[in-house]
């Protein structure tokens, strides 16, 4: 029993109600009040990989009517008891989630599988239980993750102890809001093209992945993974657990394109001089409105035509029109502005490079 009345800590264990799996990266809170609109949060924390969190409560919690719940999951609330306050028991919060995930949740899950290729059922259940800091499943609410864990467990039921290791999740079926598992032995593998010396590895999904119709080339898959990490980072830094995980990725993707004047979804691999790709981007930045337009607001008439100038020379002319130096321009828009015309790139590679810059 605790002796220090000034340190009121409650230990919380959050699990998926169906499987008992711990839910990491889940927000938990202690709330007071009766109706949902009248509730006031008095403490909050985030669970670790083991689903455990520690809530620090005000001293008057001894005489308050409080409950503990996963943030956004009203059905998971449990009353705060004296046993929890004196440390003799923890608050067990079991999350059930919605009757079925929304289509946007399935789409986010499909994006995760395509970008990370963690398609084995065991890997996916691990990611849903406790999302790593760099995967977009952290955008999902604890309830949605709990529902998906329960659904995966139900599909595997009766398949044996190693079924999760022997099945993968079909990413194409997820696009149709269906959870379909495929046994490894049903996959057709033809490695002949991948072993040809004239095939560039970054243009194909890599050895072993060519049997999956949804698998992207290695470089594109990695680019999408990086974009997902950025979306997750913005979500956590700006809005935490309050953001709508179904709408937020789309909002960030739109803001990325508006803010940096590039298409981060492109698959165009047409090789051209890098400076030729940069010219229309720089011109768009110069002409875009200031402030919320993220540009410099230059009149179109003040931007000369390229004429017979080389791409490098014309890019230098455009950069000289900007009210900031080239180094600042490059840092602000994350663009490689000092390369010679001999450097080749493509729209897809340029978007990859932007996301990879420190």
Do 241 and 115 share a structural domain?
yes
- Whether 110 is covered by a domain: the verdict is yes
Q: How far is CA 311 from CA 129, 209, 273, 318, in A?
A: 51, 39, 8, 10
Q: What is the DSSP string of 95-119?
A: E---SS--HHHHHHHHHHHHHH---
Containing structural domain, residue 351: 267-356
Q: Is 150 within the bounds of a domain?
A: yes
Q: Is position 79 within any domain?
A: yes
Q: What is the mean pLDDT of residues 111-134?
A: 89
Whether the per-residue pLDDT at 328 is higher than 90: the answer is: yes
Residues 112 and 57 in one domain: no
pLDDT at position 145 over 80 = yes
Strand-strand pairing, 8-16 and 91-95: parallel
Q: Are residue 125 and residue 242 in the same domain, yes or no?
A: yes
Q: What is the DSSP letter of 4?
A: -
Spatial CA neighbour of 21 closest among 136, 128, 135, 164: 128
With 60 as the cut, is the pLDDT of residue 189 above it?
no
The pLDDT score that the predictor gives to residue 133 is: 81
**36 backbone dihedrals φ, ψ, rounded to 5°:** -60, -40
pLDDT, residue 61, reads: 73
**pLDDT value of position 204:** 44
Q: Given 52, 74, 95, which residue is the final one in a domain? A: 95
Say yes or no: 166 and 285 in one domain: no
Q: Which residue has the higher pLDDT, 108 or 191?
A: 108
Give me the number of domains the chain comprises.
Answer: 3
Q: Is the pLDDT of residue 194 over 60?
A: no
Percent of the chain at pLDDT > 90 equals 42
Do 334 and 277 lie in one domain? The reply is yes
What is residue 19's DSSP assignment? Answer: T
User: Regarding predicted confidence, which is higher, 282 or 355?
Assistant: 282
Q: Does residue 260 lie in a domain region?
A: no
More confident residue, 8 or 215: 8
Question: What is the pLDDT, as a whole number, of residue 54?
Answer: 95
**Per-residue confidence band for 344, with pLDDT thresholds at 50, 70 and 90:** very high
Averaged pLDDT score across all residues of the chain: 82
> Is there a single domain that holds both residue 217 and residue 352?
no
Q: What is the pLDDT of residues 237-294, one digit of tens each?
A: 666 655 555 666 677 777 777 888 888 778 788 889 999 999 999 999 999 999 878 8
The arithmetic mean of pLDDT across residues 181-210, rounded, is 55
Instruction: Show which of 253, 278, 297 is a domain's final residue.
Output: 253
Q: Angle at CA 170, nearest 5°, toward 165 and 172? A: 165
DSSP H or E run through 353: helix 347-356
CATH value at residue 48: 2.60.40.1120
Give the DSSP H or E segment for 14.
Answer: strand 8-16
Give the model's pLDDT for residue 191: 45
The reported pLDDT for the residue numbered 306 is 96
> Where does the pLDDT of residue 339 fall: very low under 50, low under 70, confident under 90, or very high at 90 and above?
very high
The predicted pLDDT at position 106 comes to 92
Residues 141-154 have a mean pLDDT of: 92
Helix (H) or strand (E) holding 42: strand 40-46
329: in domain:
yes
* Residue 61 covered by a domain: yes
Tell me: do 82 and 120 sit in the same domain.
no
Last residue of a domain, one of 95, 126, 152: 95
SS3 content of the chain, % helix, strand, coil (to 5): 45, 15, 40
> What pLDDT, on a 0 to 100 scale, did the predictor assign at position 272?
92
> Over the stretch 89-122, which tens digit does the pLDDT of each residue have?
999 999 998 999 988 889 889 988 888 888 889 9
Domain assignment present for residue 1? The answer is no
240 and 141 in one domain?
A: yes
Is 219 found in the same domain as 128? yes
Comparison of pLDDT for 35 and 132, the residue scoring more: 132
Q: Is the pLDDT of residue 352 over 80?
A: no
Confirm whether 2 is domain-assigned.
Answer: no
264 against 345, higher pLDDT? 345
The predicted pLDDT at position 207 comes to 47
Q: Are residues 292 and 161 in the same domain?
A: no
Same domain, 68 and 121: no
Same domain? For 14 and 49 the reply is: yes
pLDDT at 136: 81
* CB neighbour class for 63 (10 Å; exposed up to 12, middle 13-18, buried from 19): exposed
Taking 50 as the threshold, does the pLDDT of residue 205 lie above it? no
CB atoms within 10 A of CB 140: 24
């Amino acid at each position: 029993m605790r002796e220090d009345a000034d340190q009121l800590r409650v230990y919380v264990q959050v699990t998926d109600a169906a499987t008992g799996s711990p839910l990491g990266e889940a927000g938990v809170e202690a709330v007071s009040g009766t109706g949902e609109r009248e509730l006031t949060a008095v403490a909050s924390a985030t669970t670790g990989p083991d689903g455990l969190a520690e809530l620090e409560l005000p001293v008057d919690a001894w005489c308050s009517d409080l409950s503990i719940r996963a943030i956004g999951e009203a059905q998971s609330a449990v009353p705060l008891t004296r046993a929890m306050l004196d440390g003799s028991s923890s608050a067990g919060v079991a999350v059930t989630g919605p009757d079925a995930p929304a289509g946007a949740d399935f789409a986010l899950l499909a994006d995760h599988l395509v970008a990370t290729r963690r398609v084995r059922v065991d890997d996916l259940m691990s990611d849903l239980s406790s999302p790593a800091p760099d995967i977009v499943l952290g955008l999902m609410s604890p309830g949605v993750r709990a529902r998906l864990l329960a659904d995966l467990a139900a599909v595997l039921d009766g398949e044996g102890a190693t079924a999760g290791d022997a099945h993968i999740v079909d990413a194409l079926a997820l696009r149709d809001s269906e959870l379909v598992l495929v046994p490894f032995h049903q996959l057709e593998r033809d490695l002949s093209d991948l072993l040809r010396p004239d095939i560039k590895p970054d243009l194909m999904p890599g050895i072993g992945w060519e049997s999956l119709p949804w698998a992207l080339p290695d470089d594109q898959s990695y680019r999408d993974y990086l974009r997902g990490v950025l979306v997750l980072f913005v979500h956590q830094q700006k809005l935490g657990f309050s953001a709508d995980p179904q709408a937020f990725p789309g909002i960030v993707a739109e803001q990325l394109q508006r803010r940096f004047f590039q298409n981060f979804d492109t698959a165009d691999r047409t090789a051209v001089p890098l400076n030729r790709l940069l010219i229309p981007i720089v011109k768009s930045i110069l002409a875009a409105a200031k402030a919320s337009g993220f540009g410099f607001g230059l009149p179109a008439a003040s931007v000369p035509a390229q004429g017979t100038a080389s791409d490098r020379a014309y890019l230098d002319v455009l950069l000289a029109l900007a009210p900031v130096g080239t180094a600042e321009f490059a840092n602000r828009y994350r663009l490689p502005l000092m390369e010679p015309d001999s450097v080749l790139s493509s729209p897809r590679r340029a978007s990859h490079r932007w996301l990879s810059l420190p």
